[in-house]
Amino acid sequence: MTDLDLRIANTVRGLSMDAVQAANSGHPGMPLGMADVATVLWTRFLRYDPTDAAWPDRDRFVLSGGHGSMLLYSMLHLSGTALTIEDLKSFRQWGSKCAGHPEHGEAPGIETTTGPLGQGFANAVGMAMAEEWLRARFGEALVNHWTYVTCGDGDLMEGISAEAASLAGHQKLGRIIALWDDNKITIDGSTDLSCTEDIAGRFTAYGWHVQKVDGHDHDAIATAIAAARDVTDRPSLICCRTTIGFGSPNKAGKSSSHGAPLGVDEVRLTKQALGLDPDVSFAVPADVVAGVRAKDADRKVIRESWEARLQDAPQAAELMRFLSGELDVASVAWPVYAAGSSLATRKASEAALQAAAAALPNLIGGSADLTESNLTHIKGSPGFQAGSREGRNLAFGIREHAMGAICNGLALHGGVRPFGATFLIFHDYMRPAVRLSALMHQPVVYVYTHDSVWVGEDGPTHQPIETIQAIRLIPNCRILRPADANETSEAWRLALAHTTGPTCLALTRQNLTTLDRTVYPPASSIAKGAYVLRDVASPAVVLIGTGSEVHVALEAADTLAAEGIAARVVNMASCELFDEQDTAYKASVLPRGVPRVSVEAGTTRGWERYVGIDGASVGIDRFGASAPGKTVIEKLGVTAANVVAAAKRVIAG
């Protein structure tokens, strides 16, 4: 380790302390402890070009412990990638690029939004999978980079990291290197309070290559990273034994340095201990900047050489099309179904997926061990495995949470469009990852089958009562419940055309009758979220149905018509898409002054937004039951008769 190496690391420490202290908020301990590791990685190994931070063949760096964000921000500033010293000074303030936890899109070089522990680790696994898949298709000349992820004790305690690490080990992902901040401290104190397992042994059992080093010895860190890069048939974990709050005379090695500013006096003492000027804040010595940027000319040459290879490559157009993120959904021969045919929407989804996959070669994904139920196997393609990296079928295993986060990593990496599938009820196992899909505007498709109590005999543990409304609560997350097979094709088309957020497809296990589109508007009408499916001249009531319950609403409308009561039927396939429409369109679908009744095989809470205080909702506000699906739906009252009764009540006022 040279004196300059140490000065770079200590400059990172100084910037981190100063930013946290200026904000009077933040986590200084991790940046102080991991500054040496970051210095070695960024100056000796990480392949990037600060003049083009989005260069596709760059190495990816993920800070999984997002609370240590000042470590990343400091390195981005010193490397000249994105952030100014003024940005660092505005740490954790309104409008700052330097949010409390790194937020994807706020500045170049922030590869993913981290903070919820373990998510970044799993994102990194997805990035490594994307790199492997693209390299298999386009060759090492165009795709040849590494994914590095720093993680802490908290990341490795969270279950999602165990799921992701297990899958990474099985997949033999040799291009991911995890650097564990092994400081033995969590918020509550020593890790011995709650975790005494052999983490290195656990990762060895997962099939990882594992090393242990002094996390403050630059040469030892460099040797370990080099050794990890030589092991290409396994992912690597480097256990970096560090001291949290390194350099702080009174808080080093203590939990008190984790999540609060050191304090003005302790910052001064720490700077003195590290050889920094205690009277200068946000100091960035010129020789430190020069040291970090010493290889910038070489970095640029590496990037330009890649661009030259790309220009000469016959696959250049395809690779750039993949990396653009846009899909030519118009080229897909979407399945069309005859009126009166009967098909579960999960089955129609299978056909739509096959059609999409045939036209869109970078559509990849899989299921959480429910492929035969979710019907998400891409036919004609092998599975993505260590021996067949070109495979488009991802076997996530029974790991819903990691599946969601890995899909985020695949999307963030770029070049592939991912989907993940499970039963709707198990959205709860992956909700944090779906929320981050929405927060990061990532176009992941979540295929959720078995979408209601029609699941039947499996009973209340498998019957999603509140799940659809729970998904609707996530900002920037769409959920679509198609009412028949043709709407399912349209739902897939909408999902794949959408590039600024995730789409959830809620699909039936039971068969639904295909609607006659010579009588009703086209299935493409769901693009506006809700549309008038069946209309009358002067409706006395509006019946709003979603998914399979659209058919219940139609049956109720027939009964009301026979009694001389005119009912409009609205198919609200997606509340989110409907909410995006202008006021005039929404009023044309749900006219003011006409009472409304909603029907959905789930909780009625939330429907007051559309039916108003004078309307009614037919749904299920209790857990389900174990019995044949038709029996359950009838016993729980989601029937045309109950919709008719509710309609009469609201008309009567």
Give the pLDDT of residue 612: 96
- When pLDDT is averaged across residues 551-574 and rounded to a whole number, the result is 98
Give the pLDDT of residue 245: 98
Return d(Cα 116, Cα 4) in angstroms, integer. 34
Q: How confident is the model at residue 1 (pLDDT cuts 50, 70, 90)?
A: confident
Mean pLDDT of the chain: 98
Return d(Cα 408, Cα 403) in angstroms, integer. 9
- When pLDDT is averaged across residues 449-461 and rounded to a whole number, the result is 98
CATH numbers and ranges of domains, the chain: 3-298 (3.40.50.970), 329-513 (3.40.50.970), 530-652 (3.40.50.920)
- When pLDDT is averaged across residues 86-105 and rounded to a whole number, the result is 98
User: How, if at all, do strands 185-186 and 189-190 pair?
Assistant: antiparallel
Give the pLDDT of residue 653: 87
The answer, yes or no, to whether residue 315 has pLDDT greater than 90, is yes
Q: How confident is the model at residue 346 (pLDDT cuts 50, 70, 90)?
A: very high
- When pLDDT is averaged across residues 626-648 and rounded to a whole number, the result is 98
- Span 361-397, pLDDT tens digits: 999 999 999 999 999 999 999 999 999 999 999 999 9
3-class secondary-structure state, position 332:
coil
Share of the chain above pLDDT 90, in %: 99
User: Inter-axis angle of helices 29-40 and 69-79, to 10 degrees?
Assistant: 40
Share of the chain above pLDDT 70, in %: 100
Q: How confident is the model at residue 91 (pLDDT cuts 50, 70, 90)?
A: very high
Buried-exposed string 188-227: b where 16+ CB fall within 10 A, e elsewhere: eeebeeeeeeebbebbeebbbbbbebebbbbebbbebbee
Measured CA to CA in angstroms, residue 19 lies from 15, 28, 116, 262, 276 at distances of 6, 9, 21, 11, 15
- Span 96-132, pLDDT tens digits: 999 999 999 999 999 999 999 999 999 999 999 999 9
Give the pLDDT of residue 553: 98
- When pLDDT is averaged across residues 14-21 and rounded to a whole number, the result is 98
Residues with active-site annotation: 400
Give the pLDDT of residue 82: 86
- Span 519-529, pLDDT tens digits: 999 999 999 99
Q: How confident is the model at residue 341 (pLDDT cuts 50, 70, 90)?
A: very high
Give the pLDDT of residue 54: 96
Give the pLDDT of residue 516: 98
**CA-CA-CA-CA dihedral for 301, 302, 304, 305, to nearest 10:** 110
| Contacts (Cβ under 8 Å, ≥6 apart) of 238 | 177, 178, 179, 180, 210, 211, 212, 213, 221, 224, 225, 228
Q: How far apart are the first and last CA of the chain?
A: 81
The answer, yes or no, to whether residue 356 has pLDDT greater than 90, is yes
- When pLDDT is averaged across residues 475-491 and rounded to a whole number, the result is 98
- Span 208-220, pLDDT tens digits: 999 999 999 999 9
Is the entire prediction scored with pTM above 0.95?
Answer: yes
